[in-house]
């Protein structure tokens, strides 16, 4: 998962990435999970791998933002799976995220208008999708009214169309209010972020313990992206993986490796706490706790999965 850290200059983006990952500009956030630790105690693997989130410090909305070149901003930010936006900091601008929303909508209005114009021509000659056209027209209407796309209430099939275009306001976004001893988050900023329906974290980036900051930021990102965790416990490696809530075991297999999805036969599945209670796969099978599931099985948060492939 790629999460772009955005916000104005001198707001704390670089500090956040460095404190959470140890990297400069880009780094890996390792998501701490007590369930993974307990599984590792049972299997004693040679390697324990937590879920990982790539954080990328982006200046697209800071000093490099150019009102006359929105395409450049869109092309860079369209690669993000989600945004972590920092407000406050040394400059004390706790409402900068409102400008971001307006910039997103301005860029999307241009992108949607051009795509709709082309799609209308394709529909006229029988090559385009009328369903896609209706979705885009509804999205453009919302954007021009000042409504971010995440707040419109699109169905999943409509969201797939919008995600396919890389539209920015449909992407999950978490606001981090970076407090300092001199600058505290004002009530109007909290009221505004709640009015926009954006999840948020209030923290002192330099003063808070890295472990606590990791936990709170990770939880906010996973909740905003509707991401669950599944595990592949074993003696060689016990690993935590991300999956969008509602994802099937085939999608989980593809997350591990594309070949597993292509050659999928069945999946052995058990809840993590049952696997721990049984002392491993052998004990769980002896108790008949391990289920065999087909390709349409919807993975639950905390499931332990072993893929059988041809």
89 and 206 part of one domain: yes
Asked if residue 243 has pLDDT above 50, the reply is yes
CATH number, position 192: 3.40.50.300
Could you tell me if 190 and 272 lie in one domain? no
Statement to judge: residues 119 and 17 lie in one domain: yes
Are 136 and 269 members of one domain?
no
Q: What is the pLDDT of residue 103?
A: 87
Q: Say if residue 193 is in the same domain as residue 261.
A: no
Residue 33 lies in a domain: yes
pLDDT of residue 91: 85
How deeply is 179 buried, as exposed, middle or buried, from its count of CB atoms within 10 A (0-12, 13-18, 19+)? buried
Residue span of the structural domain in which 270 resides? 246-309
Regarding whether 252 and 188 lie in a shared domain, the answer is no
- Specify whether 120 is located in the same domain as 201: yes
pLDDT reported for residue 62: 57
* Shared-domain flag, residues 47 and 133: yes
Measured CA angle at 101 (ends 143, 181), to 5 deg: 165
Could you tell me if 220 and 260 lie in one domain?
A: no
In this predicted structure, what is the pLDDT of residue 274? 98
Residue 240 lies in a domain: no
**Whether pLDDT at 191 is above 60:** yes
Residue 72, token pair as written in the block? 């450049």
Whether residue 286 sits in one domain with residue 217: no
Q: Residue 71 — pLDDT band, cuts 50, 70, 90?
A: confident
Q: How confident is the model at residue 70 (pLDDT cuts 50, 70, 90)?
A: low
- pLDDT-derived band of residue 67, with 50, 70 and 90 as boundaries? low
C-alpha closest to that of 256 among 297, 27, 302, 264: 264
Is residue 99 in a domain?
yes
C-beta atoms surrounding 102 within 10 Å: 11
- Give pTM, 2 decimals: 0.88
SS3 133: helix
Q: Do 276 and 180 share a structural domain?
A: no
Domain membership of residue 199 (yes or no) is: yes
**In which residue are the tokens 């900068």 written?**
96
Is residue 232 assigned to a domain? no
> Are 121 and 169 members of one domain?
yes
Number of domains in the chain: 2
109 pLDDT higher than 70: yes
CB 182 within 8 A of CB 88: no
Give per-residue pLDDT as tens, 192-221: 999 988 999 999 998 889 899 999 999 999
State how far the alpha carbon of 64 is from the alpha carbons of 69, 79, 86, 109, 220, in Å.
Answer: 10, 17, 16, 21, 27
% of the chain beyond a pLDDT of 70: 97
User: What does the pLDDT look like over 35-45, one tens digit per residue?
Assistant: 999 999 999 99
Does the residue 237 lie in any domain? no
Span 251-307, pLDDT tens digits: 999 999 999 999 999 999 999 999 999 999 999 999 999 999 999 999 999 999 999
Whether 203 is covered by a domain: the verdict is yes
Per-residue pLDDT of 149-180, as tens digits, reads 998 989 989 998 999 888 999 999 999 999 98
Structural element, H or E, at residue 112: helix 96-124
Q: Is residue 190 part of a domain?
A: yes
Indicate the average pLDDT of the chain. Answer: 92
pLDDT > 80? residue 19: yes
**Which of 172, 189, 224 delimits the end of a domain?**
224
- Write the CATH number for 287: 3.10.20.30
**Is the pLDDT reported for residue 64 higher than 50?**
no
Instruction: Please indicate whether residue 163 or residue 49 has the higher confidence score (pLDDT).
Output: 49
């Amino acid at each position: 998962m790629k999460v772009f850290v955005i916000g104005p200059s001198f707001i704390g983006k670089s500090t956040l990435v460095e404190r959470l990952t140890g990297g400069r500009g880009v780094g890996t956030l390792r998501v701490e999970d007590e369930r993974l630790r307990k599984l590792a105690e049972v299997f004693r693997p040679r390697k324990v791998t937590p879920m990982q989130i790539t954080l990328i410090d982006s200046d697209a909305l800071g000093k490099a933002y150019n009102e006359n070149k929105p395409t450049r901003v869109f092309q860079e930010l369209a690669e993000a799976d989600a945004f972590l936006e920092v407000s406050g900091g040394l400059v004390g601008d706790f409402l900068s995220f409102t400008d971001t929303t307006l910039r997103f909508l301005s860029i999307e209005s241009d992108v949607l208008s051009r795509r709709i114009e082309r799609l209308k021509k394709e529909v006229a000659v029988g090559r385009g999708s009328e369903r896609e056209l209706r979705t885009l027209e509804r999205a453009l209407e919302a954007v021009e009214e000042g409504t971010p796309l995440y707040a419109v209430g699109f169905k999943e099939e409509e969201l797939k169309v919008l995600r396919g275009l890389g539209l920015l306001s449909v992407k999950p976004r978490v606001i981090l209010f970076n407090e300092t001893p001199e600058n505290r988050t004002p009530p109007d900023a909290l009221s505004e972020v709640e009015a926009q329906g954006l999840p948020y974290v209030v923290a002192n980036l330099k003063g808070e313990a890295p472990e606590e900051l990791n936990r709170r930021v990770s939880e906010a990102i996973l909740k905003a992206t509707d991401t669950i965790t599944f595990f592949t416990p074993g003696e060689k490696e016990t690993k935590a993986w991300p999956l969008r809530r509602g994802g099937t075991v085939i999608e989980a297999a593809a997350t591990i490796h594309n070949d597993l999805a292509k050659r999928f036969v069945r999946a052995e599945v058990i809840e993590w706490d049952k696997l721990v209670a049984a002392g491993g796969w052998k004990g769980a099978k002896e108790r008949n706790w391990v289920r065999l599931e087909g390709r349409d099985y919807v993975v639950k948060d905390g499931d332990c999965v072993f893929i059988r492939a041809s």
